Amino acid sequence: MIADVSKSDKIVVEKSTVPVKTAEAIEKILTHNSKGINYQILSNPEFLAEGTAIEDLFKPDRVLIGGRETPEGRKAVQALKDVYAHWVPEDRILTTNLWSAELSKLAANAFLAQRISSVNAISALCEATGANVTEVAYAVGKDTRIGPKFLNASVGFGGSCFQKDILNLVYICECNGLPEVANYWKQVIKINDYQKSRFVNRVVSSMFNTVAGKKIAVLGFAFKKDTGDTRETPAIDVCKGLLGDKAQISIYDPQVTEDQIQRDLAMNKFDWDHPMHLQPTSPTAVKQVSCVWDAYEATKGAHGLCILTEWDEFKTLDYQKIFDNMQKPAFVFDGRNIVDPEKLREIGFIVYSIGKPLDAWLKDMPAVA
Ligand SMILES: NC(=O)C1=CN([C@@H]2O[C@H](COP(=O)(O)OP(=O)(O)OC[C@H]3O[C@@H](n4cnc5c(N)ncnc54)[C@H](O)[C@@H]3O)[C@@H](O)[C@H]2O)C=CC1
Ligand SMILES: O=C(O)[C@H]1O[C@H](OP(=O)(O)OP(=O)(O)OC[C@H]2O[C@@H](n3ccc(=O)[nH]c3=O)[C@H](O)[C@@H]2O)[C@H](O)[C@@H](O)[C@@H]1O
C-alpha cells in the first residue's frame, strides 16, 4: 500500500512490537515494488503502558531508534531523532542498529514479565513459610541493582503484550536453534499460568473443596486498573477455573462492559488476538455469570469475593457493609494485595492475600483442592 501511493523517497517507521528481522521483510517488499523510490525502514518501538500512555509519551524513560548502518540509514535515524528532540532530552534518545531496536522491545517486555513471575514464584514460597511477599519484595528492591518497581505480587500478569511478546521471543529462539534459551523464557509464562491456577485452587480449597452452586463476587475484570482492556486478563482464567467447578459468578468492573466479559468467557484461549470482525457477534452468554454495576450488588449474598484488578475504588469500599450482606463464613481472596488483611479479619472475614502469612483457617486447608 505504501509503495502504491508513494511519489517520493520515504522513511517507514515500525512502531509495533515485531519479530526481529521484520524490517528486512518490509524492506524487501517495498524495494520490489518501489518504482524507483528509496525506502528507509526504521525500528522505533513503542514503550508506553496502558493507563499511563500520555505521561509515557511526554516523559519517556528512553526513545529507541534503530536503522541501517549506511549513510542513508543514519540520515533517516537523524530525521526521526529530530522529531523527538522537540520534547525528549537528547540523552534519552538511543540509536542502534535495526535488529537491536527490534529485539530490545521484546527483551524489555520479557524482563518486565520475568520480574512479575519471579516475585509471584516467591509469593508461593512465602505462603508456605510464613514470610510476607510485600516485605520480601521491599527488601529485595532496596538493592539499587534490582530496584523497587514492578515487584508487586499478583494473581498474574495480563495484557495483550507480555505473553505475546515472550512467545514471540521463544519462537525466534527456537528458529535460531536456541532451545535452552527458548525454555528459559517459556518458564516466565508457565509461572504466570501456575499463579492463576494456584489462586483458583486456594479459593476452592478454602471453601470446603468446592464452589459448586456458591456465589462468588469478582471485583475487577480488566488486566490492570485505569483501563477497560481485558486482553489476556488473569480474570478470564480465574473465572473459567471457578466456572469449571460450577460456581455462580457475579462480576463488577468499573470499565468493562457485560458484553465484553461474556465474549471473553465464551472465547477459547488466544482467540482474543483475532480481529473483532472474526469474533462471534452475539456470543452465547455464560449462564452462571452475571455482570452488575456496583461492588455491593456483586457481593450481596455471596459466599466469597475475589479482587482481580487493583482499582482504587476497591480500597475504600465499606467492607463492614459487604460482610453484613454476605453468607458466612465470608471469604476475601485478594489477588492484588490492595486490602488490609488484618482490618478485614477484625470485621470477621477469612482473608487470603497473595504471598502473605495465611490465617488459621487457610493453614488447615490443603493448598490444592
Ligand atoms: N496496547 C499497548 O499499550 C501497546 C501496544 N504496543 C504494540 O503495538 C501494536 C499494536 O497494539 P494494539 O494497538 O494494542 O493492538 P490492536 O489489537 O488494538 O491493534 C492491532 C491492529 O492490527 C490489525 N491486524 C492484526 N493482524 C493483522 C494482519 N495480519 N494484517 C493486518 N492487520 C492486522 C488488527 O485488526 C488491529 O486493528 C502491537 O505490536 C503491540 O505489541 C506497544 C506498546 C504499547
Ligand atoms: O508492549 C506493550 O504493550 C507494553 O506492555 C507493558 O504495558 P502494559 O501491558 O500496558 O501494562 P503493565 O503496567 O506493564 O502491566 C502488565 C501486567 O502486569 C501486571 N503487573 C505489573 C506490575 C507488577 O508489579 N505486578 C503485576 O502483576 C499488571 O497488573 C498487568 O496485568 C509494558 O509495561 C510497556 O512498557 C509496554 O510498552
Can you give the CATH number for the domain in which 150 is found? 3.40.50.720
> Are 82 and 52 within 8 A, CB to CB?
no
Residue 336's alpha-carbon distances to 23, 163, 220, 266, 315, in angstroms, are: 39, 19, 10, 25, 11
Span 52-66, pLDDT tens digits: 999 999 999 999 999
Span 177-230, pLDDT tens digits: 999 999 999 999 999 999 999 999 999 999 999 999 999 999 999 999 999 999
The confidence score (pLDDT) of residue 244 equals 94
Query: What's the CA-to-centroid distance between 159 and ligand 2, angstroms?
Result: 7
The confidence score (pLDDT) of residue 80 equals 98
Say if 368 falls within a structural domain: no
Does 94 share its domain with 180? Answer: no
The residue among 165, 186, 207 that closes a domain is 186
Report residues of the chain scoring pLDDT below 70: 269-285, 365-369
Say if 119 falls within a structural domain: yes
Longest dimension (CA), the chain: 76
Say how many domains are in the chain.
3
Give me the long-range contacts of 170-173 (CB less than 8 A, separation at least 24): 171/19, 172/19, 172/20, 172/106
ipTM of the complex: 0.96
> Which among 16, 104, 150 is the best mutation to test ligand 2's pocket, defined by most ligand atoms within 8 Å of the CB?
150
Does 22 share its domain with 108? Answer: no
The confidence score (pLDDT) of residue 1 equals 80
Distance, in Å, from the CA atom of 44 to the CA atom of 36, rounded to the nearest integer, reads 25
Distance, in Å, from the CA atom of 136 to the CA atom of 51, rounded to the nearest integer, reads 27
Query: What's the CA-to-centroid distance between 46 and ligand 1, angstroms?
Result: 11
Active site residues: 161
> Which among 14, 44, 46 is the best mutation to test ligand 1's pocket, defined by most ligand atoms within 8 Å of the CB?
46
Could you tell me the three cell numbers for 177?
Answer: 536453534
Tell me if 47 is assigned to a ligand binding site.
Answer: yes
The confidence score (pLDDT) of residue 36 equals 86
Does 229 share its domain with 166? Answer: no
Q: Which domain holds residue 109?
A: 103-186
> Are 305 and 203 within 8 A, CB to CB?
no
Q: Which atom of ligand 2 is nearest to the CA of 309?
A: 29
The confidence score (pLDDT) of residue 284 equals 60
Does 358 share its domain with 243? Answer: yes
Does 240 share its domain with 311? Answer: yes
Q: Which residues pair with 97 in a beta bridge?
A: 67
Does 150 share its domain with 93? Answer: no
The residue among 86, 102, 118 that closes a domain is 102
Say if 369 falls within a structural domain: no
Distance, in Å, from the CA atom of 75 to the CA atom of 340, rounded to the nearest integer, reads 55
pTM (two decimals): 0.94
The residue among 152, 186, 220 that closes a domain is 186
Q: Dihedrals φ, ψ of 40, to 5°?
A: -115, 125
Could you tell me the three cell numbers for 298?
Answer: 456483586
Does 202 share its domain with 323? Answer: yes
Tell me if 48 is assigned to a ligand binding site.
Answer: yes
Tell me if 278 is assigned to a ligand binding site.
Answer: no
Residues with CB under 6 A from ligand 1: 16-17, 46, 48, 50, 160-161, 275
User: How would you label 212-240 residue by residue, b for 16+ Cβ within 10 Å and e otherwise?
Assistant: eebbbbbbbbbbbbbbebbbbbbbbbbbb
